[in-house]
Amino acid sequence: MQARRAMTGLAVLLAAGATLLAGPAQAQSGDTPVVYLTFDDGPSDGPVTTELLDVLADHGAKATFFVQEPDVVRNPDVVAAISAAGHAIGNHSDGHTDVLNKTPADLIRRFEATENALAAAGAPPASCWRAPFGATDPQADLAAASLGLGPAAIRWTVDTKDWSADTTTAQIRATLDTVGDGDIVLMHDGQGDRSRTLTAVRQFLTERGDDFRFEVLPDCQGDGEPPSDDFGDVAAATWYANAVRWAALTEVTTGTGPGVFSPGDPVTRGQAVTFLWRSAGEPVVDPVHDFADVSAGAFYEQAVHWAANNGITQGLGPGTFGPNQPITRAQAVTFLWRANGRPAVGAHPFIDVRPDDWFDQPVAWASASGVTSGTSPTTFSPGSTVTRAELVTFVWRSENRPTL
Ligand SMILES: [Zn+2]
């Protein structure tokens, strides 16, 4: 899950330097902004991480540390101290190489190397991960999720750029002053001289520590157990088994009940955009649409906001999204085509999709990219209702079919 970058009126005031609302009275109120401090590439070989733990403890602040195997192996006592102080520890792979275009076996070996080092240091297993350089792909997300590191890589909303030697302590401090409720702040405590980061955090917590609650990332607080992909109604030999397994481990779906996926059930438009939204990392956005039938608090509310903001849906008509209506195959591939940037491709082999149909290009893209092979060699059946097995397979194929 990703937190939104929300600059509330209060946060804007505070970021502008106003201090009249800060102080103990505000800290005791229920709506103190929450900020997630994160530190990558450690723990440090020198004293930085240990001193950072002291600074955090002085201000009652919790943080999340994304650690790497070699650093954990060299500094097991520091890792144990991070854990004992109540901070969360995330997996940052085994060394600082990127995880793109790797085989499942290679990915799992890298994640397990860090997990084994954590166990040897006496720390609990991680339940989240962050990709080196922040670059991930669906295959890496699936490999991580299968080890309980999931559902997807943790990103950030504020980059202090402390990774660059050109960034000064004052600049790191100035960036910290811009944070607001829900922000995830990227910093580093290992690999290189991190004294500027340490100094900036010390200054920030001393001067602004009462303006915020500093907590561990919720996705990093889990038990490190992967979600269940054991659905009694999905046999291993079915054409959609790999897609359902991917969807379960990356939490695109949790099924319709304990151990039940209901592959043949029809999918509503509200459910369909929710599948897409989860596979996109659950971005939270401020809505721009005027759909009167998307009620606050509905399970698909955030997904519809995201889909409308990104042009993935325009609704069924003015003010109408139709969340409870079954989604057709034409609508489903159109959602996916738009979510993938509306690529223009050539023709398709289906006689029931004509060039002047609004879904002609989406179907051509879905055919060319292997998202669908139709309901027969010459038919797509655009008006047919999509089942849960079909939709999960569409989304999985559009993510290049990650498997373990
Ligand atoms: Zn890193």
Q: What is the pLDDT of residues 169-196, one digit of tens each?
A: 999 999 999 999 999 999 999 998 999 9
- Mean pLDDT over residues 112-125, rounded? 97
Residue 298 CA to ligand 1 center (angstroms) comes to: 37
**What is the per-residue pLDDT for 30?**
66
pLDDT exceeds cutoff 60 at 14: no
Query: Is the confidence at residue 28, as pLDDT, over 80?
Result: no
CA–CA gap between residue 189 and residue 198 (Å, rounded): 8
Are the C-beta atoms of 331 and 309 separated by less than 8 Å? no
Question: Does 7 score more than 60 pLDDT?
Answer: no
The answer, yes or no, to whether residue 139 has pLDDT greater than 80, is: yes
What residues flank ion ligand 1 with Cβ within 5 A? 40-41, 132
State the distance from the centre of ligand 1 to the C-alpha of 252, rounded, in angstroms: 26
Point out the catalytic residue in the list 40, 71, 210, 219. Answer: 40
Q: How much is the mean pLDDT over the chain?
A: 91
Q: What pTM was computed for the model? A: 0.86
Q: Is 96 among the residues known to form the active site?
A: no
Query: In order of start, what are the domains of the chain with their CATH numbers?
Result: 9-220 (3.20.20.370), 241-398 (no CATH)
**Cα of 162 from ligand 1 centre, angstroms:** 11
Cα-to-centroid distance, 250 and ligand 1 (Å): 22
Closest by Cα among 147, 155, 153, 222 to 185: 155
Supply the pLDDT for residue 344. 92
Catalytic residue among 87, 137, 141, 188: 188
Q: How far is the CA of 385 from the centre of ligand 1 (A)?
A: 44
Say how many Å lie between the CA of residue 133 and the centre of ligand 1.
6
**What pLDDT is recorded for position 13?**
30
- Distance (angstroms) between ligand 1 centre and the Cα of 297 equals 36
Q: Is 188 marked active-site? A: yes
* pLDDT one-digit tens code per residue, 206-226: 999 999 999 999 999 988 888
- Work out the percent of the chain whose per-residue pLDDT is above 90: 84
174 CA distance to ligand 1 middle (Å): 22
For ligand 1, the distance from its centroid to the CA atom of residue 327, given in whole angstroms, is 41
